[in-house]
Structure 1
Amino acid sequence: MSARGTGARGAALFALRRGLHGLVVLWAAYTLSFLILSALPGDPVTIMLGAAGQAAGTPEQVAALRAEHGLDRPLALQYLVQLGGIVRGDLGTSYTSGQPVASLIAAAVPTTVELAVWTLLFALLGGGALALTASASRSPRLRGLLAALPGLGASLPTFFTGLVLLQVVAFRLRLIPALGAHGFAGVVLPALTLALPIGAIVAQVLFRALESAWDQQFITTYRAAGLSRPRLLLAHALPVAALPLLSIAGVLAGQLLGGAVVVETVFTRNGLGRLAQTAVANQDIPTVQGIVVLCAAVFVLVNLAADLLYPLVDARTRPAADPRARRTPLRRSRGRTAPQQPAVLQEARP
């Protein structure tokens, strides 16, 4: 088998293993949420009757609701039936609204996606600019100050940042309406609020990676060739230092989804975060489980994409080819000397 075929087979097996791990994560997330929600005090039938405007129903009404939603079955059977529904794509029906959970989630997803796109844009631009400025600075004091800022940004509670931005930008300066704005004006404050802790993580990881890249041999070689510090930073150190950001893609996705709950509540945005907060407050178990499964799926897909992309951008992590395939060209060369790589590339290899 050729080296290319062996590498493709190794990549396919790697993707299959990661996909199976992702299915296990989805199952674990659903199972854990089911156990936690089942242990909560309160009766779902009472919640449904309250949503319908009835303080208490007749025994016949209670029994009918239990049978309709399968709540009269043993807990283990409820788990298996609901798990089978999720496998088929049926997330159930909301206890409070009576609407399909899939419809509620589909209506909330665009708002959260808009928030996520702007948040990641602000976080990458702000965190990247801060890390590059700190790494390019020759002043130890300025470098220390800039390197300490991400820790401060990551330590601030999201709800506190959101309330401060609302108070200053919307109420004091009146630059942006506090509520009811559409388009960019309606998403800029929530995105900035959520981008602060995420951008802090990006800045910390990128700054440390840049500091490590400065000590690599290929940077020393390029510096000896007379390249300026800005060109070294942007053209050679940054591409290498940006690789660790792929490794924390799952962490950033989790931070984004978790922060959306707080941000969308503070800014009254009708997204997944606010839907989750309302469902938890009303003990709307099917809606909470549907959101948990969706968030777990996003987390799994982000990590899977990062795992598959990393070998494409970093040759050191690619699956090794068959050793016999690597030796074949040398045997056929009959003692001929292989062409030597340029000195700069030899220095750059780990």
Structure 2
Amino acid sequence: MNVVLIRRILTTIASAALLLWAVATIVFFLQHLVPGDPAMAILGGASANPPEETLQAIRDQYGFEDPLLVQYGAFLTGLVQLDLGESYTMKQPVTAIVSEQILPTLQLTGAALAIAWALAITLTLLTAGRRGWLGRLGAGIEVVFAALPHFWLGVVLLVVFAVVLQWLPVVDDGPLGLVLPALTLGIPLGGFLAQVTRDEFDVALRQPFVLSALSRGARTADVRFRQVLRHAALPGIALSGWGLGSLISGAVVVEVIFSRQGIGQVLVAAVNAQDLPLVIGVTFVVALVYVIANILSDAASVLVDPRLRHTIGATS
């Protein structure tokens, strides 16, 4: 491993740590700008009508009356120690809550990403570089898919396939219950990835290596699948890290629509209850997943095109 590559890895780690710190800090201060008494939220809200002595005891216990910078310092100390605190409302460690709920969300987003890539590759291979109505049809489908809002698409799929046709369950924790939520997230991302892949596919078709392969007697379908698609997929792979982050954001809506367990449901409940430790914990973990996804997408790009190893070393 050369010095340049080591430097790049260290730079990536430092950038990831800076991003995670920035996300947690922004959420911390934004939550403190929200009106309301967190001690009141911990005790069940204004409807619980707790006595002032109890409220004051809670404020002292959690340090709510400490200066904001003191609270921020304590927060950073816990963050460095991977101690995200205890949920105000659920009375459990935030790490335990998040670790329990993150798996269903990752399953959902992973299935949605697979659907998105399957859709993008299928549309690209069938319609990219084609003349006439087939090429225009593929481009039109991609635009429509990319523009579909998650909330609207989820409701339509739920009504059609679960209520009218009754092919799939409305709510189910098994594999069948994952189909409609994954399609809701995957179809719009698939349309976007297909647009990116199509543009690069059209460019790659005009490269000399395509003509050279065809002149040697290679079949057109083999050239499109084995050589052109490899080049065309690179921009989409690079964007997959961002795509996974957007899928996790969309999961907040989709988990509500389909009543699925997951990090989205937890985040919505925590925001409504002003549960600061849980909001920060969920946001921090989502940012961490986003950082890891981007690192993995970089690694996948190198696997698809090993020449990028030399490009990285030359440009760093």
TM bucket (normalised to shorter chain) is: over 0.9
1:184 matches 2:163:
no
Partner of 1:278: 269
Partner of 1:154: 146
Partner of 1:83: 76
Residue 56 of structure 1 and its aligned partner are, at CA, apart by: 2.4
Alignment of 1:192-271 (within 5 A): 192-271=183-262
Q: Distance in 2 between matches of 1:257 and 1:83?
A: 25
Partner of 1:107: 100
Partner of 1:29: 23
The code of the aligned residue for 2:74 comes to: V
- Equivalent residues of 2:41, 2:273 under 8 A apart: yes
- Equivalent residues of 1:250, 1:303 under 8 A apart: yes
Q: Deviations over 1:203-239 (max 9, x none)?
A: 1111111111101111121122232221110111011
Alignment of 1:46-61 (within 5 A): 46-50=40-44, 55-61=48-54
Deviates more, 1:241-250 or 1:206-215: 241-250
Q: What SS is found at the alignment partner of 1:79?
A: helix
Which of residues 122, 136, 161 in structure 2 aligns to 1:169?
Answer: 161
Which of residues 256, 280, 287 in structure 2 aligns to 1:289?
Answer: 280
Q: Distance in 1 between matches of 2:232 and 2:311?
A: 23
Q: Distance in 2 between matches of 1:157 and 1:98?
A: 35
The code of the aligned residue for 1:265 comes to: V
- Equivalent residues of 1:15, 1:308 under 8 A apart: no
Partner of 2:6: 12
Residue 322 of structure 1 and its aligned partner are, at CA, apart by: 10
Q: Deviations over 1:86-125 (max 9, x none)?
A: 1111111112121111111112112112212221221111
Which entry has the higher C-alpha Rg, 1 or 2?
A: 1
Deviates more, 1:253-262 or 1:303-312: 303-312
Q: Distance in 1 between matches of 2:311 and 2:262?
A: 44
Q: Distance in 2 between matches of 1:232 and 1:220?
A: 10
Residue 292 of structure 1 and its aligned partner are, at CA, apart by: 0.7
Q: Distance in 2 between matches of 1:202 and 1:321?
A: 24
Partner of 2:125: 132
Q: Distance in 1 between matches of 2:313 and 2:123?
A: 43
- Equivalent residues of 2:109, 2:244 under 8 A apart: no
- Equivalent residues of 1:91, 1:102 under 8 A apart: yes
- Alpha carbons of structure 1 residues 85 and 41: separation in structure 2 relative to 1, 3 Å: same
The code of the aligned residue for 2:183 comes to: L
Q: Distance in 2 between matches of 1:130 and 1:106?
A: 36
The code of the aligned residue for 1:41 comes to: P
- Alpha carbons of structure 1 residues 16 and 189: separation in structure 2 relative to 1, 3 Å: same
Q: Distance in 2 between matches of 1:269 and 1:312?
A: 35
The code of the aligned residue for 2:137 comes to: L
- Equivalent residues of 1:249, 1:302 under 8 A apart: yes
Q: Distance in 2 between matches of 1:183 and 1:309?
A: 30
Q: TM-score, normalised by structure 1?
A: 0.85
- Alpha carbons of structure 1 residues 239 and 319: separation in structure 2 relative to 1, 3 Å: closer
Q: Distance in 2 between matches of 1:169 and 1:316?
A: 45
Residue 55 of structure 1 and its aligned partner are, at CA, apart by: 2.2
- Equivalent residues of 1:219, 1:232 under 8 A apart: yes
Structure 1 unaligned residues grouped into runs of 5+: 1-6, 324-350
- Equivalent residues of 1:11, 1:319 under 8 A apart: no
- Equivalent residues of 1:136, 1:229 under 8 A apart: no
The code of the aligned residue for 1:227 comes to: A
Partner of 1:305: 296
Partner of 1:121: 114
- Equivalent residues of 1:279, 1:287 under 8 A apart: yes
Q: TM-score, normalised by structure 2?
A: 0.93
The percent of aligned pairs where both chains have the same amino acid is 34
